[in-house]
């Protein structure tokens, strides 16, 4: 793989919530959104499967990752 970052979108940052799979971690990214009608802000969480070549990240670690070519059905991101 190359170290060229994807031109689509920038770096994403999140916290590792699972490291049970080999060379894959699940990262939760939190974002605040605003309801279109009621204008109340709420927290939305999205989980991404991220490639971790050396199995170096553990649960609770903060991770930066970028989009890359698909590696499997669900995994299209890699750690930076």
Q: Which ranges of the chain would DSSP assign to H, the alpha helix?
A: none
Residue 5 lies in a domain: no
Range of the domain at 39: 12-79
Domain count for the chain: 1
Residue 31 lies in a domain: yes
Residue 46 maps to which CATH number? 2.40.50.140
Residue 46 lies in a domain: yes
Q: What is the pLDDT of residues 9-41, one digit of tens each?
A: 689 999 999 999 999 999 999 999 999 999 999
Paired with 62 in beta bridges are: 15
pLDDT at 9: 67
pLDDT at 10: 85
Label residue 8 by pLDDT band (50, 70, 90): low
Residue 1 lies in a domain: no
* 25/55 Cα distance (integer angstroms): 8
Tell me if 16 sits within 8 A of 25, measured CB to CB. yes
* 49/74 Cα distance (integer angstroms): 7
* 40/54 Cα distance (integer angstroms): 41
Residue 57 lies in a domain: yes
Label residue 7 by pLDDT band (50, 70, 90): low
């Amino acid at each position: 793989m190359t170290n060229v970052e994807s031109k689509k979108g920038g770096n994403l940052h999140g916290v590792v919530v699972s490291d049970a799979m080999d060379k894959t971690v699940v990262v939760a990214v939190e974002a605040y959104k605003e309801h279109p009608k009621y204008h109340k802000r709420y927290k939305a969480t999205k989980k991404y499967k991220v490639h971790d070549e050396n199995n170096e990240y553990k649960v609770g670690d903060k991770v930066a990752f970028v989009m890359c070519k698909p590696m499997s059905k669900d995994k299209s991101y890699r750690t930076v």
